């Protein structure tokens, strides 16, 4: 019998917000996620293939890189955007083999991938977005939720008042109702907007952290890449009061405690139905959030708080229990792995590997940004130019177990001159926070040469999208 698949997918979730991954100073309230990790396999070295919502989600569902689909940033969801081809998703492969598939909550894909009455193909057979609305708090106003805004206006903290209906609860309520109504086998994704902005946990979850201090980010070193420095300059957290910054960080961790409750609802439902040994439960995220640690409250960088994402897979009786894996893996692996666990051979389209049968890769790649004259750091808000009023660059990253190297590969639709490449090399073993650039260190010259060559070859394969598709 093929297993049911329950996929709990968060937005902007960093690993240290979970007890099972560990926080350096705080005690995390995530007993249900920790319970899931204890019953399965936790991947400690998992990375997204693009550190932003749309392109990361596209990579995960299609098993393709941004260079394959042309989706390099959130412009991929704009009305005029068109991909060079319409790729298949692993939920579609599962559906073709008899699975019922559904997504509840956020979806945020290229428009050609969205389910709907005018679509001849659907990434999921059923989609219900209720509970994923970003304006769920607006009837209460900023004062009503004690909104904490960053200098860019981001809704990075606050409290949802007690006694008010909490609309995000709808995602899990509707997903569990659907699970009870369909026959096996099925794939259901509970795609939570949280802890993405607006970060407004219910009041009871803020009380869990009343006796803890999330601290403040340490001063940024001068050794960061110019790319990361520019991101920090645009976010301008130096203009945010320490009180607000600390409050926003605490709100984030409280929001994750609410997520943990949602995971508990799923596990309790499966346990009550006696379905735990017939169900793969997977927990993960599209990317992380630096929470000010690199001078920003946004994604778009390859810093570990953004690039590394949690991944937990549990299937009691089939997968190992309590195993922690430190081999390097990526979001591209998810589709091929789930198909393998279901006994289905995926199409050749799917890159990545089966995490339980294939060997660890030497390196993985990630990419962010279109690199066009009108490109912005945050395109949905129209915010963030590169230096000298140029368009925001496309930047690529290669990671191995030992090293991370990233560089700009396209600015204003041209390959940048050497002074604008901003090559950034990290020796992860010596610098796990990934702040100190060793690209100019002669002791690392051979490593820079090798990784730069691989990265440039990778970047050359990227498809380009017509400028008419990048107009909102």
How many CA atoms lie less than 13 Å away from 307 in the CB half-sphere? 24
Distance from C-alpha of 133 to C-alpha of 137, rounded to nearest angstrom: 9
- The answer to whether the beta carbons of residues 409 and 459 sit under 8 Å apart is yes
Distance from C-alpha of 101 to C-alpha of 376, rounded to nearest angstrom: 35
Q: Give the pLDDT of residue 114.
A: 83
Q: In what order do the strands lie in the sheet with 279-285?
A: 126-128, 100-105, 186-191, 4-10, 279-285, 311-314, 41-43, 323-325
Which DSSP letter does residue 76 get?
G
Distance from C-alpha of 146 to C-alpha of 243, rounded to nearest angstrom: 13
Distance from C-alpha of 110 to C-alpha of 322, rounded to nearest angstrom: 36
- What integer is the mean pLDDT of 1-12? 96
Q: Give the pLDDT of residue 472.
A: 86
Check whether 223 has a pLDDT greater than 80. Answer: yes
The per-residue pLDDT for range 23-54, each reduced to its tens digit, is: 999 999 999 999 999 999 999 999 999 999 99
Percent of the chain exceeding pLDDT 70 equals 99
Which helix or strand (DSSP H or E) is residue 66 part of?
Answer: helix 66-69
Q: Give the pLDDT of residue 175.
A: 98
- What integer is the mean pLDDT of 203-212? 96
Place of tokens 């040994």: 277
Report the Cα–Cα distance between both ends of the chain, in Å, rounded: 47
- The answer to whether the beta carbons of residues 311 and 19 sit under 8 Å apart is no
Q: Give the pLDDT of residue 119.
A: 57
- What integer is the mean pLDDT of 450-462? 96
Choice between 254 and 123, residue whose per-residue pLDDT is larger: 254
H helices within 361-444, ranges in order?
418-421
The per-residue pLDDT for range 164-194, each reduced to its tens digit, is: 999 999 999 999 999 999 999 999 999 999 9
The per-residue pLDDT for range 246-256, each reduced to its tens digit, is: 999 999 999 99
Residue 348 in tokens: 């050749």
Domain 365-470 has CATH 3.30.1120.10: yes
Percent of the chain exceeding pLDDT 90 equals 95
Which phi and psi angles does 76 have, rounded to 5°? Answer: -60, -20
Check whether 120 has a pLDDT greater than 70. Answer: no
Q: Give the pLDDT of residue 118.
A: 55
DSSP helix/strand/coil, 19: coil
Q: Give the pLDDT of residue 117.
A: 59
- The answer to whether the beta carbons of residues 132 and 191 sit under 8 Å apart is yes
Please name which of 43, 36, 44, 68 lies closest in space to residue 55, comparing C-alpha atoms.
Answer: 68
- What integer is the mean pLDDT of 232-242? 94
Contacts from 72-75 at CB under 8 Å and sequence distance 24+?
72/367, 72/368, 72/369, 72/370, 72/371, 72/394, 72/462, 73/368, 73/369, 73/370, 73/375, 73/379, 74/379, 74/380, 75/370, 75/379, 75/469, 75/470, 75/472
Q: Give the pLDDT of residue 122.
A: 80
| pTM, rounded to two decimals | 0.97
Show me where the domains of the chain are located.
4-361, 365-470
User: Hey, CA dihedral for 394, 365, 66, 175, is it positive or negative?
Assistant: negative
The per-residue pLDDT for range 377-389, each reduced to its tens digit, is: 999 999 999 999 9
- Matching fold, domains 4-361 and 365-470: no
- Total residue count of the chain as it appears in this document: 472
DSSP helix/strand/coil, 218: coil
DSSP β-ladder status, 424-427 and 403-410: antiparallel
Q: In this structure, which topology does domain 4-361 adopt according to CATH?
A: Alkaline Phosphatase, subunit A (3.40.720)
């Amino acid at each position: 019998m093929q297993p049911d698949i329950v996929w709990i997918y968060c937005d902007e979730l960093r690993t240290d917000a979970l007890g099972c991954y560990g926080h350096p100073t705080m005690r995390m309230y995530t007993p249900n996620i920790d319970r899931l990790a204890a019953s399965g396999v936790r991947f400690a070295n998992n990375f997204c293939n693009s550190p932003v919502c749309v392109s990361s989600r596209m990579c995960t569902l299609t098993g393709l890189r941004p260079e394959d689909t042309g989706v390099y940033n959130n412009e991929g969801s704009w009305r005029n955007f068109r991909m060079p081809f319409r790729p298949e998703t692993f939920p579609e492969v599962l559906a073709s083999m008899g699975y019922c598939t559904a997504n509840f909550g956020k979806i945020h894909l290229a428009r050609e991938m969205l389910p709907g009455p005018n679509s001849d193909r659907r990434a999921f057979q059923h989609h219900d977005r209720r509970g994923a609305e970003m304006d769920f708090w607006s009837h209460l106003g900023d004062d009503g939720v004690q909104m904490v805004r960053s200098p860019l206006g981001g809704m990075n903290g606050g409290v949802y008042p007690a006694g008010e209906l909490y609309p995000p609860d709808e995602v899990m309520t509707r997903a569990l109702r659907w699970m009870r109504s369909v026959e096996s086998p099925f794939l259901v994704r509970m795609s939570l907007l949280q802890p993405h902005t607006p970060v407004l946990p219910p009041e009871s979850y803020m009380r869990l952290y009343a006796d803890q201090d999330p601290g403040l980010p340490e001063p940024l070193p001068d050794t960061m890449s110019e790319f990361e420095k520019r991101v920090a300059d645009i976010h301008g957290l130096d203009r945010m009061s320490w009180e607000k910054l600390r409050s926003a960080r605490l709100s984030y961790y409280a929001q994750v405690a609410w997520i943990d409750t949602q995971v508990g609802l799923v596990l309790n439902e499966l346990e009550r139905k006696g379905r735990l040994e017939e169900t793969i439960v997977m927990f993960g995220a599209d990317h992380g959030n630096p929470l000010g640690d690199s001078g920003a409250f946004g994604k778009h960088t390859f810093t570990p708080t953004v690039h590394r994402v949690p991944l937990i897979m549990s299937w009691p009786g089939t997968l190992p229990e309590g195993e922690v894996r430190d081999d390097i893996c990526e979001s591209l692996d998810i589709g091929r792995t789930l198909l393998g666990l279901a006994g289905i051979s995926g199409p050749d389209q799917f890159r990545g590997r089966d995490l339980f049968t294939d060997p660890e890769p030497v390196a993985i790649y990630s990419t962010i940004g279109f690199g066009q004259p009108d490109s912005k750091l945050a395109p949905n808000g129209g915010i963030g130019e590169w230096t000298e009023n140029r368009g925001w660059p496309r930047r690529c990253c290669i990671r191995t177990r030992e090293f991370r190297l990233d560089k700009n590969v396209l600015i204003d639709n041209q390959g940048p001159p050497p002074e604008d490449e901003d090559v950034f090399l990290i020796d992860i073993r010596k610098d796990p926070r990934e702040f100190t650039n060793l690209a100019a260190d002669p002791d690392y010259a051979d490593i820079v040469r090798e990784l730069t060559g691989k990265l440039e070859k990778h970047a050359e394969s990227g498809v380009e999208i017509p400028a008419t598709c990048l107009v909102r």
